[in-house]
Amino acid sequence: MDNNYLQYNGTNIIDSIGSKSIFEKDKLGCIGKCSSNDNCHGINIQNPQCENNLNYSECLNLNLSAGIGIGMGIDMGIDIGNGQNNITPENLTKYNCKILTNINDTNYVLGSENNTSYIKNNYGNKINNMTLNKSYYLKIGNKYLSIDYKLGQLFLTSKNNIDLASMFKFNSNGNIIDAKSNKCIQTNGRYLILADCIQDNISQEFIYENKLNTIRPLSNTPDNILCLSLSPEENIVMEECEFDNNLNQSIEFESESESESESELENFNSNSNSNSNSNSDFDSIKNINFCSNPVYRTIITIILCGIIIYFIWYLCRKKYKDDINNISISTPF
């Protein structure tokens, strides 16, 4: 199989209840049916019900104990009622291939040990729906992706602080470009490095798939399905994709404007706290009992005494003037 499909091991992607099923002797036959059908966005492949672990008769008796009908159809994940599927005993030894025709963000992705799902790249690549050449911060597990110079190479690493993070752009070729240096991320064994962008260099081409929000190299093969991962040492490496629990592989995007908004919110909260502290200081001033303070009490006592003395002096002076005037009026010239 070529790398025109995104592979999901142990998963069952549901796009509609009445998806059409076909039966093939191997997985390549199922994938071939989808590849030749323009309306096929992907395909779920369920392993045969009867494999080598049981002989044919035992398996047949086990699965058909209730007779061929709806009960068996439900067990196999097949819609019997729509008239599209012919259930026969020999189909128990074939791969059940369910055609997917409506791949979008609303699909259910369920765990299923007997299933493998394949989505055509052009339907599973979220880069197709992104604003290309816009700069983004990338996060895995609350760690920001960044660039560090080590051993003569620029390696993709992780940082706790957004101030130390790098910003990245995407283009229609699947390149992930460091916004500062305009160099492309490139696979280098288990690690990822920055290198000069080269047209049609498959080691620099990635897919941001829309089911588990992982970034995968376009060079993935069915036997080597790798995703960008946050290692226990908090390095960014290529590791086998986790389909059940991909917390250390799920990518989050954060644009510069969103970061500025968060920064503004933090500043607002900081200012609010400052204002709150100022109000608290003002409240504390209001709550001071000045009369209990000996310094303030002394100053107020001096001011009051001064006012009383001035008032007594004013009254005495006024009485003295009145007496002088009275004497002057009563004495003739």
Top-tier CATH class for 127-255: mainly beta
Predicted pLDDT of residue 314 = 82
Q: Which residue has the tokens 């500043």?
A: 267
User: What tens digit of pLDDT does each residue of 5-47 get?
Assistant: 999 999 999 887 777 889 999 999 999 999 999 999 999 999 9
- State both tokens at 157: 């690493």
Q: What is the mean pLDDT of residues 50-76?
A: 58
User: What tens digit of pLDDT does each residue of 146-164 get?
Assistant: 999 988 899 999 999 999 9
Distances (CA, A) of 151 to 154, 164, 193: 8, 20, 11
Task: Quickly state the pLDDT bin for 82 (edges 50, 70, 90).
Answer: very low
Top-tier CATH class for 5-124: alpha beta
C-alpha distance across the termini of the chain, in Å = 141
The pTM assigned to this predicted structure is 0.68
Task: Quickly state the pLDDT bin for 329 (edges 50, 70, 90).
Answer: low
Predicted pLDDT of residue 71 = 37
Burial (CB < 10 A; 0-12, 13-18, 19+), residue 125, is buried
Q: Which residue has the tokens 């895995």?
A: 140
Predicted pLDDT of residue 80 = 37
In the chain, where are the structural domains located? 5-124, 127-255, 290-330
User: What tens digit of pLDDT does each residue of 116-135 get?
Assistant: 999 999 899 988 778 887 89
Q: How far apart are CA 139 and CA 253, in angstroms?
A: 7
Q: Are 121 and 14 in contact (CB under 8 A)?
A: no
